Amino acid sequence: MQLFFPQTRQTTDARLTLEAKMVQIDHELIYEARKLITGANTHKLGQMILVYELAVHLHNRNRPSHEIYNQQYERDLRTFVAAARLATAPRARAVAAR
């Protein structure tokens, strides 16, 4: 899905220092998160993925108030995926032991 964003302003502000480095989207994280989507969590998890992708995109485009990358959305998504892995680990071991 391609999102449309209008052209951003060109800036040479001194505010854009080391914090303004490009942030790469973790495609493996998104892949793992999408594998976890069910009917019960589709809206919540879809929104978590969307806000993570938008946070990276807006930071990389130097949008106002996004010059410094906010890692909260990535952290929330990573926490959700890690918790889901922990919850399914005993079940996966039991199936493998059969």
Instruction: Tell which wins on pLDDT, 87 or 27.
Output: 27
**What is the pTM (predicted TM-score) of this model?**
0.70
pLDDT tens digits along 23-72: 999 999 999 999 999 999 999 999 999 999 999 999 999 888 888 888 99
The CA distance from 74 to 27, in Å, is 12
Residues 69 and 60 sit within 8 Å (Cβ to Cβ): no
Inform me whether the pLDDT recorded for 12 exceeds 60.
no
Long-range Cβ pairs for the range 48-52 (8 Å, 24+): 48/73, 48/76, 48/77, 48/80, 49/77, 52/25, 52/76, 52/77
Among candidate residues 58, 60, 64, the one with its CA nearest the CA of residue 24: 60
Q: Are the C-beta atoms of 58 and 22 separated by less than 8 Å?
A: no
Instruction: Look up residue 44 and give its amino acid.
Output: K
